[in-house]
């Protein structure tokens, strides 16, 4: 079953607020595609708000559903939204997959296969240099993430080790390119990542395929 997002009433997000305003206000602009909004008279916090859906809306039912609160991310406060999931029908990769996906590696996370893009394989545009030759540069919509991946790879090579927090964040961002999936759903709900399945896909995602192959051979 697909999840829903409940956003409590606020000055920025009044009940029934349109997705193009409400979702970016709580840091979920990557979920805008195909989102619909409905007024929630009684949300999981007992107050009014907005429920955003990507399938047939269900609304909040405390007897059959669980509400998972948002965690703090930078200046974004915790509890700014809740992820609503049906207890006996958690979301699957097929339900969360976007209409168009990007090449990468199929990885077993939480007992299901997920397609994790590689930064080096994301679409690039052909542009002419001043001398008339052609080169390919990463499309603008991916450039910020690709730059972060390149920087992370260099830092990992210099340090000779990888940071688990950064690795999980990078994998979440990679999955969000192919799936409609907020951070808390990957970790606190579906528990996709563990001590045995993070390092290799993380290194492949940021462009360290040669390092990932060493990890695989050493396993």
**Whether pLDDT at 56 is above 60:** yes
Q: Are residues 106 and 213 in the same domain?
A: yes
The mean of the pLDDT values for the chain is 92
**∠ CA(22), CA(10), CA(19), 5° rounding?**
10
Lowest mean pLDDT among 51-60, 107-116, 180-189: 51-60
Q: Confidence class of residue 219 from pLDDT cuts 50, 70 and 90? A: very low
Q: Are residues 52 and 142 in the same domain?
A: no
Arithmetic mean of pLDDT, 77-90: 96
In angstroms, the CA 3 to CA 37 distance is: 13
Q: Are residues 48 and 116 in the same domain?
A: no
Q: Are 71 and 78 in contact (CB under 8 A)?
A: yes
The single-letter DSSP state of residue 203 is H
Of the candidates 90, 119, 134, which is a domain's last residue? 90
Arithmetic mean of pLDDT, 116-144: 92
Arithmetic mean of pLDDT, 8-16: 95
Q: Confidence class of residue 212 from pLDDT cuts 50, 70 and 90? A: very low
Of the candidates 57, 90, 123, which is a domain's last residue? 90
Of the candidates 65, 90, 115, which is a domain's last residue? 90
**Whether pLDDT at 213 is above 60:** no
Q: Are residues 84 and 98 in the same domain?
A: no
- Per-residue pLDDT at 211: 53
Both structure tokens of 10: 């606020």
- Per-residue pLDDT at 44: 96
Q: Are residues 135 and 179 in the same domain?
A: yes
Looking at the 3D structure of the chain, how many domains does it have?
Answer: 2
- Per-residue pLDDT at 215: 41
Q: Are 177 and 115 in contact (CB under 8 A)?
A: no
Q: Are residues 119 and 58 in the same domain?
A: no
pTM equals 0.90
Domain extent for 136: 94-218
């Amino acid at each position: 079953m697909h999840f829903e997002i409940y956003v409590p009433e606020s000055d920025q997000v009044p009940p029934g607020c349109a997705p193009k305003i409400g979702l970016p206000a709580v840091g979920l602009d990557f979920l805008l595609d195909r989102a619909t909004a409905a007024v929630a008279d009684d949300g999981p916090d007992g107050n009014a708000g907005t429920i955003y859906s990507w399938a047939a809306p269900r609304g909040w039912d405390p007897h059959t559903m669980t509400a998972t609160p948002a965690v703090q991310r930078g200046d974004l406060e915790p509890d700014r939204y809740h992820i609503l999931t049906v207890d006996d029908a958690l979301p699957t990769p097929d339900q969360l997959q976007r209409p168009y996906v990007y090449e990468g590696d199929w990885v077993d996370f939480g007992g299901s296969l997920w397609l994790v893009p590689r930064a080096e394989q994301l679409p690039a545009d052909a542009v002419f240099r001043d001398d008339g030759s052609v080169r390919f540069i990463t499309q603008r919509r991916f450039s910020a993430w690709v730059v972060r991946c390149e920087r992370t790879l260099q830092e990992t090579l210099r340090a000779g080790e990888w940071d688990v927090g950064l690795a999980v964040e990078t994998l979440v961002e990679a999955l969000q390119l192919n799936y409609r999936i907020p951070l808390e759903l990957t970790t606190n709900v579906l528990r996709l990542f563990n001590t045995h399945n993070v390092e290799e896909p993380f290194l492949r995602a940021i462009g360290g395929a040669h390092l990932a192959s060493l990890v695989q051979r050493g396993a």
